[in-house]
Chain A
Amino acid sequence: MARASVRVFHKLEGLFSIYKPPGVHWKLVRDTIETNLLKGINAAPPPAPRQRVQFLAEPTSVVAEGSNELTLSAASVPALAHHPLVSGPEFLHIGVGVGHRLDVFSSGVLVLGVGQSNKALTDLYRSHVTRDYTLEGELGMATDNFSHTGRLIERTTYDHITRDKLERVLAMMQGSNQKALLTYSKVDMSTQGAYELAVKGELRPDGKSPPIMTGLRLLHFQPPHFTLEVQCLNETQRYLCRILHEVGLELRSTAVCKGVRRTRDGPFTIQHALTHQHWTSTDVIQAIRQYRSSRKASKAKHTQPGKDTGTTDHLC
């Protein structure tokens, strides 16, 4: 029969997403969550204290007469070797794995897995999942690391930029990315199957590929600030900041990135991501259950009409 702490640990084995705040290293986040989960596991009631039997000899009152009566009494004393203060907490370490990492400057959805689910995590990222980002940019500045915290290199004017011009530049970038996607997916465009996949937007690169943006949209434009929404795969946050810089260059001005926020990582959306006051074991168990049920529901929906999704990740 498993101990209470082991049962709690098995409930925690699963994938869940958290919202990483900006300015915090991902490793610190992972360590905080591991500490909180360990607190929850070790808080489970310990097993019943074990006893051991000790035989005590009764004092023989009459020695000289040579009475041969031996009386031994059995006493049940607690076995201190298994006391929690001697053996320590039952779990000292659990394996919490991190999915696609976010750097210190960015914020957003970060996928974590506990225990056996770390294998599912590697499967998730080997199948090319797309991610959604919201990028906030500011026109008129150029820095060395493409973000507003870097060392300033250049200042330019941006009065000539209109929404129209910006959207044209974005459309051009999306076009070149689409071409790259077709090249890396190694499909023959003259076939019917490839055409259908491309129409549904389910083309994915085959094997390794550079960062590719599958979708690019302008959300908000108020000079000098503007906001972009990007869907991409195989990217890094630094690459996205560079994209903003290149947008500025294309518009004959400069731009820096003021914020990178991930709103979706594969099947994990920002809606169910846990904020830092909810990084406890009870909330994590709930999030894991909720993700599992949503996966089951979506699987049932997809398999019902008899279609095969293929490109989407299949995890439970």
Chain B
Amino acid sequence: MYRPPSHVTMSCVFITDIYMALTCIQHCQRCTSLLRSRSVGITTLQYSTDAQHWPAALWNSFIVRVLPSVLQRSPNPSQTRQRWNLGVRSYCESHAKVQPSQTKHGNTDELPETDMVSYQNPVSHQLIDGGMLLKEWQTAFDLDDAPGHSALEEISHEEAVHMNIPAALPPVSISLKDYVNESETLGKLIQLGVQLWKLEQRPNVGSMLLRLDFQTDVTPRLVFLKQLGVDDSRLGYLISHNPFILTESLENLQARVAYLRSKKFSAESVASMVSRAPYLLNFSVKRMDNRLGFYQQQLGLSAQKTRDVVARLPRLLCGSLETVKENLKICKLEMGFRENELQHIVTVIPKVLTANKRKLTQIFDYIHNTMNIPHDLIVKFPQVLNAKYLRIKERHLFLQYLDKAQYDPAKPNYICLDKLVSLPDEAFCTEVASATLKDFELFQKTM
């Protein structure tokens, strides 16, 4: 029987293992290229340790044959994996120039003490892009020799139990459902109450959430928000609306909070502003400063009053200033409110600054021209500008039908505008109109 010389036999084993390692390195490259592709609404899983996806048989064969000492020293599979990676790298380094980017894995700072037999390849070769030229190897050896281990080999129960079988996660998916059982970050976000189904519809947000590490990325920011004073129950709402708060750097967040405190916003008001306007802390200090300056200047309010207005409606600091400028112009020119009247309206109802122009003019037109309510009465009760047009119209017509539509405080049987608008239907019918709810509904059907 032909027996090949012993050194050739040993090298055969090495070559086949390196060949398998080569295919796996190429597999890694394919994975990284997948990660680099940006696609809308598609989540891509980052492989934290590429070794997970290499077939177990390969891994086993390598441990058993090439690094027998390693198995005895560290039964922990992850350590074994790292040493295997080291083994590949050190082997490559000892024989050829290595492209370090492809073969570096995780934290490998210990030098292996391997019992590997170094093989002197007579054919000179060099690594190209982390791969090895196969031709040189193939010419030197007979690859028909069967490899030492096959995938159908029986292994002991202990090995089977300690083997870490990775989850069969798809590399690309349209939903976070496939990853939520395995990912610690996603599980913790669900416990907070974050609506992942809404976030995964936004482009690239799903991939971003998967790539976050809970301990290093998410926890410091949650602690920061808690220290700020944001309630636990609001954290889920905050992240559902603004997931990018988890990628904003902590220095920036702290700087912005420090800026708001320097403008003499109290700690509670900062906390309430952040929980009601989720995007607030993503805006730069310069932008917030610009807006605060604009409101103070345009409205002509004192610093304290501006602070109150912004604390009540924090999204004034988030949105665009053009809509606010247009609304102010409408109030001054079209509706004819004076400077001090406008100041009073804005301090009572800041929402007027961000209201829909068309609806605002429609309501004002009806109140002023049809109901004949003068400016000073509107300024006294600015909440009518915030109400629904249909509600005001129905209630006014009902009162007119009952001959009770009298809004002048000087005359008897005066109906307060505040009560007209803010009471619920039942209370309005009994107190203001002295009629039943059924009558009101019957009247609504005659409009």
Q: Which of B161, B198, B446 contacts A70 (CB 8 A)?
A: B161
In the complex, what's the smallest C-beta–C-beta distance from B133 to chain A, in angstroms?
A: 42
Q: Is the CB of A277 within 8 A of B181?
A: no
In the complex, what's the smallest C-beta–C-beta distance from A92 to chain B, in angstroms?
A: 10
Q: Which of B161, B195, B425 contacts A57 (CB 8 A)?
A: B161
Binds B, one of A77-85, A146-154, A212-220, A233-241: A77-85
User: Considering only CB atoms and an 8 Å cut-off, how many residues of chain B contact the other chain?
Assistant: 27
Q: How far is the CA of A70 from the CA of B156 in the complex (A)?
A: 11
Most chain-B CB neighbours within 10 Å: which of A79, A85, A270, A273?
A85
Q: Is the CB of A81 within 8 A of B178?
A: yes
Contacts of A23 in B (CB 8 A): 390
Q: How far is the CA of A60 from the CA of B156 in the complex (A)?
A: 15
Q: Is the CB of B162 within 8 A of A57?
A: yes
Q: Is the CB of A86 within 8 A of B190?
A: yes
Q: Which of A57, A85, A275 contacts B445 (CB 8 A)?
A: A275
B68 at interface, CB cutoff 8 A: no
Q: Is the CB of A19 within 8 A of B196?
A: no
Give how many A-B residue pairs fall within 8 Å (CB-CB): 61
Q: How far is the CA of A27 from the CA of B39 in the complex (A)?
A: 34
- For B171-205 the 0/1 string (1 means CB < 8 A from A) is 00000111011000011001001111110000000
**For the complex, would chain B's binding face be called helix, strand, loop or mixed by DSSP majority?**
helix
Q: How far is the CA of A120 from the CA of B441 in the complex (A)?
A: 29
A52 at interface, CB cutoff 8 A: yes
Q: Which of B190, B198, B390 contacts A80 (CB 8 A)?
A: B190
A88 at interface, CB cutoff 8 A: yes
A87 at interface, CB cutoff 8 A: yes
Contacts of B181 in A (CB 8 A): 52, 79-81
Q: Is the CB of B196 within 8 A of A86?
A: yes
A21 at interface, CB cutoff 8 A: yes
Contacts of B251 in A (CB 8 A): none
A72 at interface, CB cutoff 8 A: yes
Contacts of B162 in A (CB 8 A): 57
B158 at interface, CB cutoff 8 A: yes
Contacts of A24 in B (CB 8 A): 390
Q: Closest chain A residue to B388 by CB distance?
A: A276
A175 at interface, CB cutoff 8 A: no
Binding site for B on A (CB under 8 A): 19, 21-24, 52, 57, 60, 63, 68, 70, 72, 79-81, 83, 85-89, 107, 261, 270, 273, 275-277
In the complex, what's the smallest C-beta–C-beta distance from B32 to chain A, in angstroms?
A: 27
Q: Is the CB of A80 within 8 A of B180?
A: yes
In the complex, what's the smallest C-beta–C-beta distance from B401 to chain A, in angstroms?
A: 15
B372 at interface, CB cutoff 8 A: no
Q: Closest chain B residue to A63 by CB distance?
A: B75
Q: Closest chain B residue to A71 by CB distance?
A: B161
* Segment 375-403 of B: residues with Cβ below 8 Å from A: 390, 394
> A68 and B190 in contact (CB under 8 A), knowing A88-B197, A276-B390?
no
* Segment 103-137 of B: residues with Cβ below 8 Å from A: none
B340 at interface, CB cutoff 8 A: no
Q: Closest chain A residue to B441 by CB distance?
A: A275
Q: Is the CB of B180 within 8 A of A88?
A: no
Contacts of A81 in B (CB 8 A): 177-178, 180-181
Q: Closest chain B residue to A270 by CB distance?
A: B445
Q: Is the CB of A87 within 8 A of B195?
A: no
Q: Is the CB of A277 within 8 A of B425?
A: yes
In the complex, what's the smallest C-beta–C-beta distance from A109 to chain B, in angstroms?
A: 9
B333 at interface, CB cutoff 8 A: no
Q: Is the CB of A85 within 8 A of B190?
A: yes
Q: How far is the CA of A270 from the CA of B442 in the complex (A)?
A: 10
Contacts of B446 in A (CB 8 A): 261
Contacts of A275 in B (CB 8 A): 441, 444-445
In the complex, what's the smallest C-beta–C-beta distance from B15 to chain A, in angstroms?
A: 33
Q: How far is the CA of A83 from the CA of B176 in the complex (A)?
A: 11
Q: Which of B161, B176, B186, B390 contacts A21 (CB 8 A)?
A: B390
Q: How far is the CA of A22 from the CA of B186 in the complex (A)?
A: 48
In the complex, what's the smallest C-beta–C-beta distance from A303 to chain B, in angstroms?
A: 32
Contacts of B425 in A (CB 8 A): 277
In the complex, what's the smallest C-beta–C-beta distance from A186 to chain B, in angstroms?
A: 38
Q: How far is the CA of A85 from the CA of B161 in the complex (A)?
A: 34
Q: Is the CB of A86 within 8 A of B447?
A: no
Q: Is the CB of A86 within 8 A of B176?
A: yes
Q: How far is the CA of A79 from the CA of B162 in the complex (A)?
A: 24
In the complex, what's the smallest C-beta–C-beta distance from B191 to chain A, in angstroms?
A: 10
Q: Is the CB of B445 within 8 A of A273?
A: yes
Q: How far is the CA of A277 from the CA of B428 in the complex (A)?
A: 14
Q: How far is the CA of A23 from the CA of B425 in the complex (A)?
A: 21
Contacts of A86 in B (CB 8 A): 176-177, 180, 190, 196-197
Q: How far is the CA of A59 from the CA of B213 in the complex (A)?
A: 27
